[in-house]
Structure 1
Amino acid sequence: MKWIRHGNKESGLTLVEVLAALVILSVVSLVLTSFFTNALTYAKGNQSKTVMVNLARNALFYMEKQRFEPIQTYFSNTSNTAINCPLTGCNTAVSKLAEDSAVLQQILNPNINGVQYTISVIYQRDMHDAMLHDADKKNMAEELLPVLVRVEKANGSASARNAAEVEGYIASERVR
């Protein structure tokens, strides 16, 4: 910095130097503010993704505890590819899959912290057929149904941040 001398006296900074320092400080502050805003957005997205993965695991655990035969019969119909309930209520075929259809409705349509989610339990028919046609896996395949549990925000856009998936198996009572 430049000091202006008037005789034996020393003065402060010039106005130009003060303005230059303020401009540099402002630019640095804006960059840091942008960084923290992006970090906060990313953290909230990760929190939401964690909630959705936990909801998917919960739904898979619930489906694993239901009776195997009705679920297997439901998926044996080729037109039934997923178990899901709209917010208005489950259809009768889906309602019969759980011991308590009201609980199934709550499991598949949870509301967490004011955010509505929808959950679908999707039967992975191709994977199951491949297991049934493999001699080494045939016995196991008769006792397991491979599923993909997909959780989405009910009012969210179709992006990776608004959905989560968990794969698993629904096992027969003989294997449990």
Structure 2
Amino acid sequence: MFNLVQGKDHEQGFSLVELLAAITILSIVSLVLTAYFTNALSYSKQNQNKTIMVNLGRNALSFMEKMEFDALSDYFINQNHTSISPSGCVRTGNQLDCTTYNQLLNISNPAVLPAILQPEINGITYEVTIEYQSQLKDELDPTKDPTKDPTKVPTLDPTKAAKYLLPVQVKVVGQGNKASKGNETIVEGYITDERIR
């Protein structure tokens, strides 16, 4: 007669080898997933920092666009200054005193420019530098470039447009790691004269 009941010798379960193989496979999968999530977190943090720096650059450019065009034009063109930066301010601890810029650029509120040039967001201090791009100014005016024919002028006369525009670039650097290229953002734009805004 055939015995349907199995004895102790035929108990079902995992052997030690099967258990070790399962733990090894699970460990490899968990290491791969941990590395993936760590990289995703790092990438997300870099994107967040880049977004903040782009917004700070746009903020500085927007601030410059609201300033008096004649004062800026005099500062950059007539006085031959190349930039507005935190290094041009007097530093007291972590605070900036930009009295010289405030006087040269006719800025009435002394607290605004330090907040633009050295903002602190999420515990990270950023440095914002506004640079005048004289080579782009010269490119707008064909009379300054001997390779261009000033008689061949498009419908908008660049010789007239050049005097109403100041090309600038805003460079934003995070204080955490100045040497890293991913820790720097540049926003370019034009400051326009109030008469054509």
TM-score (normalizing by structure 2): 0.79
Q: Alignment length, in residue pairs? A: 172
Give the Å deviation of 1:163.
1.2
Q: Does 1:59 align with 2:60?
A: yes
**Equivalent in the alignment of 2:171:** 150
Q: Secondary structure in 2 aligned to 1:100?
A: coil
CA deviations 1:49-108 (Å, max 9, x no partner) are 001101111110011000011111111157511111237132614642133232111111
Give the Å deviation of 1:162.
1.0
In the alignment, the residues of structure 2 paired with residue 95 and residue 118 of structure 1 have an alpha-carbon distance, to the nearest angstrom, of: 21
- Spell out the pairing of 1:91-130 with structure 2 (5 A cutoff): 92-93=100-101, 95-97=103-105, 98-130=107-139
In the alignment, the residues of structure 2 paired with residue 117 and residue 18 of structure 1 have an alpha-carbon distance, to the nearest angstrom, of: 53
Runs of 4+ displaced beyond 4 Å: 5-8
Identity of aligned residues (%): 47
Q: Unmatched 5+ residue regions in structure 1?
A: none
The one-letter amino acid paired with 1:90 is C
Question: CA contact under 8 A between 2:75 and 2:104: conserved in structure 1?
Answer: no
Q: Does 1:90 align with 2:111?
A: no
**Equivalent in the alignment of 2:189:** 168
Relative to 1, partners in 2 of residues 1:94 and 1:81: Cα closer, same or farther, differing over 3 Å?
farther
The one-letter amino acid paired with 2:192 is A
CA deviations 1:8-34 (Å, max 9, x no partner) are 733311101110110011011001100
Rg larger in structure: 2
In the alignment, the residues of structure 1 paired with residue 176 and residue 108 of structure 2 have an alpha-carbon distance, to the nearest angstrom, of: 29
Q: Unmatched 5+ residue regions in structure 2?
A: 1-5, 92-96, 144-149, 151-156
In the alignment, the residues of structure 2 paired with residue 143 and residue 50 of structure 1 have an alpha-carbon distance, to the nearest angstrom, of: 30
Question: CA contact under 8 A between 1:84 and 1:90: conserved in structure 2?
Answer: no
The one-letter amino acid paired with 1:12 is G
**Equivalent in the alignment of 2:10:** 9
In the alignment, the residues of structure 2 paired with residue 20 and residue 78 of structure 1 have an alpha-carbon distance, to the nearest angstrom, of: 75
In the alignment, the residues of structure 1 paired with residue 41 and residue 134 of structure 2 have an alpha-carbon distance, to the nearest angstrom, of: 40
Q: Secondary structure in 1 aligned to 2:170?
A: strand
- Root-mean-square deviation (CA, aligned residues, Å) is 2.1
In the alignment, the residues of structure 2 paired with residue 51 and residue 112 of structure 1 have an alpha-carbon distance, to the nearest angstrom, of: 8
In the alignment, the residues of structure 2 paired with residue 77 and residue 154 of structure 1 have an alpha-carbon distance, to the nearest angstrom, of: 32
TM-score (normalizing by structure 1): 0.88
- Out of 109-118 and 88-97, give the one that drifted further: 88-97
In the alignment, the residues of structure 1 paired with residue 8 and residue 124 of structure 2 have an alpha-carbon distance, to the nearest angstrom, of: 71
In the alignment, the residues of structure 2 paired with residue 85 and residue 91 of structure 1 have an alpha-carbon distance, to the nearest angstrom, of: 12
